Homo-oligomer: A and B are copies of this chain.
Amino acid sequence: MPNFTLKANAQAARAGELHTGHGTVKTPFLMPVATKGSVKLLSNEEVESTGTQCLISNAFILSMKPGLYVIEKHKGLHNFMEWKRPLFTDSGGFQVLSKEFCLGLSDEGVRFRNPFTGKSSVFSPEHSIEIQNRLGSDVAMCLDDVPHAGEGAERVRDAVKRTIEWAKRCKEAHSNKKQMLFGIAQGGINKELREECTKKIIELGFDGVALGGLSIGETKGKMFDAIGSSIGIIPQDKPRYLMGVGSLEEMLKAISLGVDCFDSCFATRTARHGRAFTSKGNINIDSAVHRLDLSPLDEGCGCFVCKKYSRSYIHHLFRTKEENAGKYLTYHNIFFVQNVLAKARKQIVEGTFRD
């Protein structure tokens, strides 16, 4: 059986199935982030009941803490975190290159400082893949070179070149036959570079193709131009993963362009800051307008938070710094988004999907 089965098209939008060692994921889908092996404020039981099919953890972060040895003692990341559904790991390219960790970048890899041990080490494509092989996630991601937003054309060109070289080395290093490996295309918002990088990544023959280095500060228009200029090149039988995009509006637009997969901390982080998704746009639960509002976060939402709690109550919890405010908002936001995506999948299959 192929890893990915395309089931239906509605213009460029696609509905399909990604088959993993831990079950099938219906596409398009969103992965909430469990960076350190846990979705913040929710138990896995709760995450499952939001309709979440798949999570993504961070190989780089987990390799520092708790360390590979601890996770291998549990016979892999699924067992360690007790998540039995499909699971991606991100290589950690984006994190290791951040100011928090990065000491220097070369073709060999990224020299970084481990904040727990104080030691400096090189994080190479081989290192990243070995970690992910051993974590045993269902889908591993290549280590890529991600330029920061606004960096010049030369840096973006270098990053594309390095990303392609690293992708080759990742493919060579990859040895876990139960695990898929996705390549990542860079190129910033430069159409030619993105097209070139996407083609090279496709040629290398990965199980899926990710669009990386977007949604990091560029305008939405430029982001969608970059997606549009490269997504059409990707063969129909490969899943397409737009990294780091998780707002509903952007996901629906990206789905209409042919994207199948998303990961984002948007629904969860924004919840901890008091924002709730609703069918009439986002609301800020901290606002005094909710003090006496007996209505649920969203009238049409079927989640347990909306079935039970008033905006007034959640406003009170938020104002009095009770963590349950963030918890209820997190649950609602993930449930709300997963519900919209489930509808989108249905509409694509029925041919009624419109951006």
Contact = CB atoms under 8 A, between A and B. Distances in A.
A38 B317 contact: yes
Interface in A20-52: 36-45
Given A308-B82, A316-B36, A294 B74 contact: yes
A220 interface: no
A310 B74 CA distance: 9
A37 B317 contact: yes
Interface stretch (A166-174, A228-236, A320-328): A320-328
Contacts of A291: 66, 70
Contacts of A198: none
Contacts of A45: 304
B36 A323 contact: no
B40 A316 contact: no
Contacts of A69: 292
A186 interface: no
Given A308-B82, A313-B82, A320 B65 contact: yes
A36 B328 contact: no
B65 A319 contact: yes
A84 to B, nearest CB: 10
A288 B36 CA distance: 18
A312 B74 contact: yes
A307 B38 CA distance: 17
Contacts of A37: 313, 316-317
Nearest to A272: B323
Given A66-B291, A291-B66, A81 B313 contact: yes
A42 B324 CA distance: 7
A41 B327 contact: yes
A327 B43 contact: yes
Contacts of A316: 36-37, 65-66, 70, 80
B36 A320 contact: yes
Nearest to A36: B320
A119 interface: no
A322 B36 contact: yes
Nearest to A324: B38
B73 A36 contact: no
Considering the complex of A and B, which 3 residue pairs feature the smallest CB-CB distances, nearest first? Answer: A66-B316, A82-B308, A38-B324
Given A66-B319, A73-B292, 8 more contacts: A37-B313, A38-B317, A40-B323, A73-B294, A73-B312, A74-B312, A82-B308, A82-B313
